[in-house]
Structure 1
């Protein structure tokens, strides 16, 4: 019984450590993003992005959707999407392209700060996520247009309910979200402990290692990549921060793992959210997975001296 109590205490203490590390990043980032939104920065960013929309076969009006998603999250982008969809007739191909933009590049102030905590600099995060999303969506646009695929009108399967847009309403949502994150991390830590006891963690490593080896990622990062890919970059990076500080993960592996998760994370939740807009699975899941494997595979094969410039020490952060 004493051993069980000790294990429970250790899991709770480890979860709290990871959680408060993330809070130091998430809270300031959320406040800064909300301040920028109130100052009209989102509208300005939408006007800057508008010319790119034509390059991707999208109307300029949807630029505000991606701008808001970049600064906040997919949920905010969804609300604006439904507003735009009232006046714009979009095809499934267009929604798939826009949805891919949103799912690859979103919440950059928060997720970029989390990635930096692990050791991935801002310039690399922006290049991978904004540059990567533009390249991937341009390829998808060309393929859909050339093949005549998904060129029929999009039909909305769901409409959001009214949300409180006041500062008090925003603060309440953030508190609820941040509280939920702790329990998710606690569940993850408990699951990892159980995996170790049952030997499942080792089995997952053995199954994943052949695929991760193609990306140049070591076996040590396998479990964290699975968690991040399933649940999200913030959760996966939170564990990566801890693994980096304890020396279990090399800076190079941390960089490759976070870079992969930047392009392809939260495969369940984010994918389902974008599918609610009417996007096709070929874009928001399969193309995203393939693109992430290709990019990280290329990145991992760069000479060490090039990767070294992208690494920042994470232990003292």
Structure 2
């Protein structure tokens, strides 16, 4: 129980450190018109995804840091549930690349492969989602985001601090509940299980890429290169399918679409990679 409390407190502190400063920074950039001036640089990427250029900093923060930073940048933009689903799909696959790609490197998967796979499949996921004949609020995307306006800098700062704090509290409550549930799963369901490739997939899907890859790292000498490549590729596309989607559900994103599209693409791409990759070498590195 003490370990559980400590983990919850550490996570809450991390969320506060990330969400509030990045949320304030986003509002400051909007207030002074800086975001509007630099966002055009990323327009080719955001246009492919069907998002306004202003979302680019959220994407950059998510890819380089984590989902909390990405959400903090996106929250002040007033995105629709449809746009949050798009953002959740892409960033659910392609987030925290420097850290998580380093973990996959220990399984013999180079950074270039992990980066191209996750960004490429993230874009494919968005294209697939946009092609689906479904109705979600805000599907008819606006050409321009309705950015917030304030009477003065101090008015903006006060409102931003309040909104950032409310968002941080919501995320902390959600993550605390998830931590408790995950603790139960790890202690009651996964305890004393035999380590294997299928088990690492299940673990990664529920608990995240770090846990799933950790099992593979521990067992990599007992697994073939083909098994490592399949499971590693699968986990990079479909991992943490409870916590990550729920962060975007807070803003109206569709949970089932976020999960189902990633799982289906994970199966397809893992199969294709293993089928067409020439396994000619005995080493576990590419």
TM class by shorter chain equals 0.5 to 0.7
SS at match of 1:131: helix
Q: CA deviation at 1:309?
A: 11
- d(CA) in 2 for partners of 1:47, 1:235: 38
1:76 to 50, 56, 69: 69
Mapping 1:63-212, distance limit 5 Å: 63-85=56-78, 90-143=79-132, 147=133, 149-152=135-138, 160-161=164-165, 188=186, 192-195=190-193
Matched residue, 1:231: 207
Counting only pairs closer than 5 Å after superposition, residues 30-41 of structure 1 correspond to structure 2 as: none
How far residue 252 of structure 1 moved from its aligned partner, in angstroms, is 2.3
Give the structure 2 partner of residue 242 of structure 1: 218
TM-score (norm 2): 0.66
Whole-angstrom distance in 1 between the partners of 2:83 and 2:91: 12
Equivalent residue runs for 1:232-271 within 5 Å: 232-244=208-220, 247-271=221-245
Structure 1: runs of 5+ lacking an equivalent:
1-42, 165-176, 202-219
Q: State the 1:140 CA deviation.
A: 1.4
> Which structure 2 residues correspond to residues 259-298 of structure 1 after superposition, within 5 A?
259-298=233-272
Q: C-alpha separation between the residues in 1 aligned to 2:215 and 2:75?
A: 35
Structure 1 residues 91 and 193 mapped into 2: Cα distance closer, same or farther (>3 Å)? closer
Task: Note the C-alpha offset of 1:76.
Answer: 1.1
Provide closer, same or farther for how the CA distance between residues 113 and 276 of structure 1 changes in structure 2, counting only shifts above 3 A.
same
Is residue 230–residue 271 contact of structure 2 (8 Å, CA) maintained in 1? Answer: no
Distance 1:135 1:163, change over 3 A: closer
Could you tell me how far apart the structure 1 residues matched to 2:255 and 2:241 are? 11
- After superposition, the CA RMSD in angstroms is 3.6
**C-alpha separation in 1, matches of 2:263 and 2:193:** 25
**What is the CA-CA distance between 1:277 and the residue it aligns to?**
2.3
Q: C-alpha separation between the residues in 2 aligned to 1:303 and 1:129? A: 17
- Shift of residue 293 of structure 1? 1.0
Deviates more, 1:228-237 or 1:133-142: 133-142
Deviation at 1:84, TM superposition (A): 2.1
Cα pair 1:95 1:277 within 8 Å, conserved: yes
The structural deviation recorded for 1:303 is: 4.5
Does the 8 Å CA contact 2:105/2:111 hold for their aligned counterparts?
Answer: yes
Rounded to whole Å, the distance in 2 between the matches of 1:282 and 1:192 is 24
| Residue of structure 2 equivalent to 1:173 | none
CA distance in 1, matches of 2:282, 2:249: 37
Give 1:283 shift: 2.8
Q: Which residue of structure 1 lines up, in the alignment, with residue 45 of structure 2?
A: 52
- Check conservation: 1:124, 1:310, Cα contact below 8 A: no
**In the TM superposition, what is the alpha-carbon distance from 1:286 to its structure 2 partner?**
1.0
Change (3 A) 1:140 1:312: same
On the 8 A contact 1:121/1:311 being kept in 2, the answer is no
